[in-house]
C-alpha cells in the first residue's frame, strides 16, 4: 500500500511537467550541411560598430533569459563575457567578419574584451543575406541530461542596424521524463557612425 501511495504521489507531482518556452515547439535544425568557415559562404559582410544593448523586435521579449537581463549583444551571440555590473562600461561593439566572426567590446578608455563569436565546433550557413550560426551543446547533470541547439541568425536591416535572432531548442531527459523546450529572442542593434 505504501508503494502505491508513493507511486501516486510521484505521478501527481510530475503530471504538471510540460515543455515550456516563448515559441512553438520545434526540433533542432539539421547541421550536417552547414559550413565551418565564413569564406565558404556568400554572406553579406556584417562588419561595423554597433551599440551594445539592442531593442527587441515586435513580438519578441524585451529581455534575454531572465526578465532583468537587457538584450545585450554578447548574450545574443552566445558569448557572455562580463559580470552584469561591469557591463555598464561597454559603449560599443565592433564586429569583424572574415573567415570567422569576432566581437570586440569597447569602453571609453579602450577595449574591454574581444571574443570569437564562432567556435570550431559551430556550423555556419548563409541564405538570403542572413548568416546563421548553429551551436550544439551537450549537458550532463546529476538528474537531467540534455542537448541544446542554439541557432543565431544575423542580418543587416535597411538602416544598417544589425539584427540578431537567437533560438534555443533544448531536448532534455531525466530518469523518467523527456521534454523539448524552446526560447526565442530577436533584437536590432543600431549601427554607430
pLDDT higher at 115 or 58 = 58
Q: What is the mean pLDDT of residues 83-95?
A: 84
Q: What is the mean pLDDT of residues 49-78?
A: 90
User: SS3 letters for the chain?
Assistant: CHHHHHHHHHHHHHCCCCCCECCCCCCCCCCCCCECCHHHCCCCCCCEEECCECEECCCCCCCECECCCCCEHHHHCCCCCCCHHHHHHCCEEEEEECCCEEEEEEECCEEEEEEECCCCCCEEEEECCEEEEEEEEEEECCCCEEEEEEEEEEEECCCCCEEEEEEEEEEEECCCCEEEEEEEEEEEECECC
Domain extent for 43: 19-189
Q: Among the ranges 1-10, 39-48, 173-182, which has the highest mean pLDDT value?
A: 173-182
Q: Give residue 5's pLDDT.
A: 39
In a domain, 104, yes or no: yes
pLDDT higher at 52 or 36 = 52
In a domain, 6, yes or no: no
Q: Give residue 32's pLDDT.
A: 43
The total number of structural domains in the chain stands at: 1
In a domain, 164, yes or no: yes
In a domain, 7, yes or no: no
* pTM of the complete model beyond 0.85: no
Q: Give residue 87's pLDDT.
A: 81
Model pLDDT for residues 129-181, shown as the tens digit of each residue: 899 999 998 888 777 789 999 999 999 999 999 999 999 999 998 888 888 99
Cell of 95: 564586429
How does residue 6 score in pLDDT terms, banded at 50, 70 and 90? very low
pLDDT > 90? residue 36? no
Contacts (Cβ under 8 Å, ≥6 apart) of 32: none
Q: Give residue 177's pLDDT.
A: 87
Q: Give residue 156's pLDDT.
A: 95
- Mean pLDDT over each residue of the chain, to the nearest integer: 80
pLDDT higher at 68 or 150 = 150
Q: Give residue 41's pLDDT.
A: 57
How does residue 40 score in pLDDT terms, banded at 50, 70 and 90? low
In a domain, 161, yes or no: yes
- Widest CA span of the chain, in angstroms? 73
Amino acid at each position: 500500500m505504501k508503494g502505491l501511495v508513493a507511486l501516486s504521489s510521484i505521478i501527481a507531482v510530475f503530471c504538471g511537467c510540460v515543455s515550456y518556452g516563448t515559441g512553438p515547439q520545434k526540433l533542432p535544425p539539421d547541421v550536417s550541411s552547414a559550413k565551418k568557415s565564413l569564406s565558404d559562404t556568400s554572406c553579406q559582410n556584417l562588419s561595423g560598430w554597433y551599440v551594445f544593448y539592442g531593442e527587441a523586435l515586435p513580438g519578441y521579449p524585451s529581455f534575454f533569459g531572465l526578465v532583468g537581463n537587457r538584450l545585450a549583444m554578447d548574450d545574443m551571440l552566445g558569448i557572455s563575457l562580463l559580470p552584469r555590473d561591469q557591463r555598464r562600461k561597454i559603449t560599443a561593439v565592433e564586429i569583424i567578419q572574415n573567415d570567422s566572426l569576432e566581437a570586440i567590446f569597447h569602453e571609453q578608455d579602450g577595449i574591454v574584451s574581444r571574443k570569437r563569436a564562432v567556435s570550431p565546433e559551430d556550423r555556419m550557413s548563409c541564405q538570403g543575406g542572413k548568416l546563421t550560426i548553429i551551436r550544439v551543446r551537450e549537458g550532463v547533470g546529476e538528474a537531467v541530461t540534455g542537448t541544446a541547439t542554439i541557432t543565431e541568425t544575423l542580418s543587416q536591416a535597411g538602416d544598417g542596424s544589425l539584427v540578431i535572432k537567437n533560438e534555443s531548442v533544448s531536448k532534455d531527459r531525466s530518469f523518467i521524463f523527456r521534454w523539448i523546450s524552446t526560447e526565442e529572442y530577436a533584437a536590432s542593434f543600431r549601427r554607430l557612425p
